[in-house]
Amino acid sequence: MKKLLLFNLLLTSFFATAQMPDSVRVSIDSALVVMQKNSLYSKNVDWAKVRSEVFSAAKNATNSIEAFPALKIAFDALGDKHANYWYYGQNYMLPNPELNARQSDSLKAKWKKGQVFGKEMIGEIAYLNVPAMPVNKQKDIDQYANWMRNAVAELAAKNPRGWIVDLRMNTGGNIRPMLAGLSPFFSDGIFGHYIDSNGKLLGKYEFKNGDFIMDGQNTASVTKQIASLSKSKVAVLMGAGTGSSGEGVAVTFQQRPNTKSFGEKTAGLANTTDGFVFNNQQCYFLISVGYLADGKKKILPESVKPDAIIKGAESYFDLKKDATVQAALKWLK
């Protein structure tokens, strides 16, 4: 029965591909190969079945743009909610209604105002908001890292009793400027690895002499050097708005001594992605390729859980009314 089903799938795929232009067939096949060979979730997909369904759905496509809806069959089969697919001017990301429902109105309103480096003293406690950092050019990485470091230095100069590092508005971006700016909080050592679905090591990151290092390379040029904060008491806040590299920062802090995390589970995107350009640079797939692991190479869940679950109301415009901030303050004091 299984052999008959496979034969029918292959036959359907053959007739579908035989009727379409070569350019369309090649563009679809290239997209499927990129996903099958590189996706973190590739082993969860029956590729013979998906390939047949995609080509069958695209059988009447006269160009690659018209074939794009058929490829959504493969995107949905992978289930990669961290992925972003660009294909001949069109774009697709998997919907995530469960995550959207978990994000509070206060959080969404704060996002609309724009993400900033929030810093203030709450009594004797330093409060630091670490926003998303969607940058890739080295000059931008350096700039964001210095903004982050300058904020840390300004608060450190006030000699706080403890720190709140708020990651709840951090949807991700580039982890390099985040941890380069925050490196005074960490002692020297390896804090993270990236590992693919076959157990192959893709990379690692560490702190050394006050710098944030990835795969042996310093990630940013930071001008302001300050005294180590590696022994400071730190409360880390996380929630449904904490995603991607924001989650990476969260798990890095969780390996740090004298640290406790508060809030709710994160967005569930704690993995590493890579981008693939193909079809004469007309297509770009950013897909999940590896798990995030700690300094000892233990693979971590893709959704990060805080040490203390806080279910109270979020209030990003008035921290005095924010239940998670108040829980952190109570622990720090």
Residue 246 to residue 210: CA distance in whole angstroms: 20
CA 75 to the chain's CA centroid: 18
For the cut 80, the answer to whether the pLDDT of residue 90 exceeds it is yes
For the cut 50, the answer to whether the pLDDT of residue 10 exceeds it is no
**3-class DSSP string for the chain:** CHHHHHHHHHHHHHHHHHHCCHHHHHHHHHHHHHHHHHCCCHHHCCHHHHHHHHHHHCCCCCCHHHHHHHHHHHHHHHCCCCCEEEECCEEECCCCHHHHHHCCHHHHHHHHHCCCCCEEEECCEEEEECCCECCCCHHHHHHHHHHHHHHHHHHHCCCCCEEEEECCCCCCECHHHHHHHHHHHCCCEEEEEEECCCCCEEEEEEEECCEEEECCEECCCCCCCCCCCCCCCEEEEECCCCCCHHHHHHHHHHCCCCEEEEECCCCCCCEEEEEEEECCCCEEEEEEEEEEEECCCCECCCCCCCCEECCCCCCCCCHHHCHHHHHHHHHHC
pLDDT band at 5 (very low <50, low <70, confident <90, very high): very low
pLDDT band at 312 (very low <50, low <70, confident <90, very high): confident
Residue 18 to residue 254: CA distance in whole angstroms: 55
Mean pLDDT of 307-328: 95
Token pair of 196, please? 């693919």
pLDDT tens readout for residues 248-291: 999 999 999 999 999 999 999 999 999 999 999 999 999 999 99
The answer to whether residues 166 and 250 touch, using CB atoms and an 8 Å cutoff, is no
pLDDT of 301 reads 97
pLDDT tens readout for residues 200-258: 999 999 999 999 999 999 999 999 999 999 999 999 999 999 999 999 999 999 999 99
Instruction: Output phi, psi for 185, to 5 deg.
Output: -80, -10
The answer to whether residues 202 and 245 touch, using CB atoms and an 8 Å cutoff, is no
Each domain of the chain, given as residue ranges in start order, spans 2-79, 98-332
Mean pLDDT of 292-305: 98
pLDDT of 18 reads 57
For the cut 50, the answer to whether the pLDDT of residue 6 exceeds it is no
Using a pLDDT cut of 90, give the percent of the chain over it: 91
pLDDT, the chain, mean: 94
CATH architecture of 98-332: Alpha-Beta Complex (3.90)
pLDDT of 196 reads 97
